[in-house]
């Protein structure tokens, strides 16, 4: 059985532009939840994208709903695909890559394998997955769900969530928290520039960070 809910409200352009300035690893210094499992890795290195989560749950070997979704997905969306535990069949291949690149999505993540790896580089489409597989899904027409809460990489993703993804990983945020998270992370990144300048000037990292004081106090 198929279930298709309305498309979610898009995260504002201003919030996504701010979020794209943020490294996921910076957020990892002060948040511990919302990060997808590190087994989901970037197919293309050096990319950082942010977009509005559009969710799909595709069980077993049926990718019919993924094909159907191609007429609904919008520029700037970030496609999140829950494979319901299937780690064998690749639902996303060259034709899907070509279609989504033409639409102009921000990127996507599959909680499982993908295929036709060369096409991601050819179309410059950032995608995260567990790796490649030559075994593909089929148009079986049996079931699937769109724009429902899904589980991807151990994280619950709701349609309309903000997704930030780079070569270090993926984090999912409620849109209302984006400004606070991004502002804090951007501030940390700016302070890191100053930190590196002090190291280049000859200061010792543990003296700056406070590690020297902690260790010597513990030894005293």
Q: What percent of the chain has pLDDT over 90?
A: 100
Q: Please tell me what DSSP assigns to residue 182.
A: H
pLDDT for 220 equals 87
Give CATH for domain 2-175.
3.50.30.40
Mean pLDDT across 142-152: 97
> Is the CA virtual torsion 74, 78, 83, 88 positive or negative?
positive
Say if residue 63's pLDDT is above 90: yes
User: Which H or E run contains 123?
Assistant: helix 117-123
* Nearest Cα residue to 140 out of 54, 30, 64: 64
pLDDT for 111 equals 97
* Nearest Cα residue to 166 out of 8, 67, 9, 24: 24
Q: Please tell me what DSSP assigns to residue 126.
A: -
Per-residue pLDDT of 154-194, as tens digits, reads 999 999 999 999 999 999 999 999 999 999 999 999 999 99
The pLDDT mean for the chain works out to: 97
Burial (CB count within 10 angstroms: exposed 0-12, middle 13-18, buried 19+), residue 135:
exposed
User: What residues are paired with 49 via a beta bridge?
Assistant: 165
pTM for this entry: 0.94
Say if residue 21's pLDDT is above 90: yes
Say if residue 15's pLDDT is above 90: yes
Mean pLDDT across 128-150: 96
pLDDT for 133 equals 97
pLDDT for 196 equals 95
Q: CA-to-CA distance for 58 and 144, rounded, in angstroms? A: 5
Q: CA-to-CA distance for 202 and 176, rounded, in angstroms? A: 42
Tell me the domain boundaries of the chain: 2-175, 184-219
């Amino acid at each position: 059985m198929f279930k298709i809910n309305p498309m979610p409200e898009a995260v504002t352009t201003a919030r996504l532009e701010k979020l794209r300035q943020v490294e996921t690893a910076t957020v990892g210094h002060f948040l511990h939840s919302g990060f997808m499992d590190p087994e989901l890795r970037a197919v293309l290195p050096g990319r950082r994208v942010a977009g509005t989560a559009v969710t799909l749950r595709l069980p077993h070997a049926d990718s019919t709903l993924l094909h159907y979704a191609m007429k609904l997905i919008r520029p700037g969306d970030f496609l999140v695909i829950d494979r319901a535990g299937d780690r064998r069949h690749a639902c996303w291949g060259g034709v899907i890559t070509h279609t989504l690149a033409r639409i102009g999505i921000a990127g996507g993540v599959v909680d499982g394998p993908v295929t036709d790896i060369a096409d991601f580089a050819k179309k410059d489409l950032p995608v995260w997955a567990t790796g490649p597989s030559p075994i593909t899904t089929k148009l079986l027409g049996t079931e699937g769900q769109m724009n429902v809460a899904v589980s991807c990489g151990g994280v619950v993703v709701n349609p309309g969530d903000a997704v930030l993804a780079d070569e270090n990983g993926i984090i999912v945020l409620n849109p209302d928290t984006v400004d606070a998270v991004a502002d804090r992370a951007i501030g940390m990144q700016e302070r890191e520039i100053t930190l590196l300048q002090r190291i280049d000037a000859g200061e010792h990292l543990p003296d700056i960070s406070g590690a020297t004081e902690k260790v010597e106090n513990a030894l005293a």
